[in-house]
Amino acid sequence: MIGAATDIAVHVQGLIRRFGSLSAVSSVNLDIARGEIFGLVGPDGAGKTTIMRVLAGVLRPNAGTVTIEGIDVVAMPELAKSQISYMPQRFGLYEDLTVAENIFFYGELFSVPRAIRRERTGALVDAAGLRGFEHRLAGQLSGGMKQKLGLICALIHTPKVLLLDEPTTGVDPVSRRDFWAILYGLREEGVTIILSTAYMDEAERCSRLALVSGGEIHHCDTPAKLKQAMPGALLAVSADNPRAARDALVGAPGVLGLLLMGDRVNVRVDDADMREPELRERLAGRAIPVMAITPVEPAIEDVFVALLGKERRDG
């Protein structure tokens, strides 16, 4: 929970951003506490990047207020940037400069004193696992190493609020793990982290999540509470032919949603105890062998689809 107002690092009220006749962000309200890892989750075109760019002071909103660490980002964007670091999807590394030269450049850009920059660089390079690569050209790094170098450059001036727009897209699993280890360390230092992500396992790691669709925030809470808010219950149907099982269950009584998950089908139902035998009977009647039907805890992806689907039906 967010406590007193002094605990709030980011305050957004009535945020609206349009591009011509297109409303990219509509009436967004947010309070984000210091030291939170706050996630924005939603499909492509939901408005996540636009929200990020407004928070970073890159875009001016058509309406609303954005305050970061007590500074009005709209009225004083340059002053606010001293508290913020923004890492877009394509971070602006200079590929013809080495790792060390990129870090030096960003340190100079943010006027970081030499002694502090040297100490900070050493700690960040070690944390990112880039020790020994300081003299390699950035253009010769792997995708994961480029992202970690981008994070070092974004952190060199010790920002209080870090904005990360899908920072690990296309990054290998080991680099993603290293990246998150750095983020957890920053949280321990009191840095507020706001990130958008397309990876549901990353969404689970956030302190709180905002489910974004159509430029609006539809739900905002901890991953655990969002799961509790999901209507219905989830059953995992393991079958020899999961695709055939899914097709057979379309339109079955009490079935609220279906999602093919590898060798099983996640079936969201209104009542697990009532529907489990009915699902077995329906599949047996279509000669589809079933190995097991078991209750499972929903993932954030299940929650997102269920909650937004319910809102569309209610609407």
Tens digits of per-residue pLDDT, 41-98? 988 889 999 999 999 999 999 999 999 999 999 999 889 988 999 998 876 789 999 9
Instruction: Give start-end residues of each CATH 3.30.70.980 domain in the chain.
Output: 231-297
CA atoms of 44 and 66, how far apart (whole Å): 23
DSSP 43: -
- Spell out the CATH class of 231-297: alpha beta
pTM of the model: 0.85
Q: Report yes or no: 149 and 109 within 8 Å, Cβ to Cβ.
A: no
Q: Report yes or no: 129 and 191 within 8 Å, Cβ to Cβ.
A: no
Secondary structure in 3-state letters for 113-125: CHHHHHHHHHHHH
Instruction: Give start-end residues of each CATH 3.40.50.300 domain in the chain.
Output: 5-221
- Read off the pLDDT of residues 270-315 as tens digits, 9 standing for 90 and up: 999 999 999 999 999 999 999 999 999 998 888 888 887 665 555 4
Fold of 5-221: Rossmann fold (3.40.50)
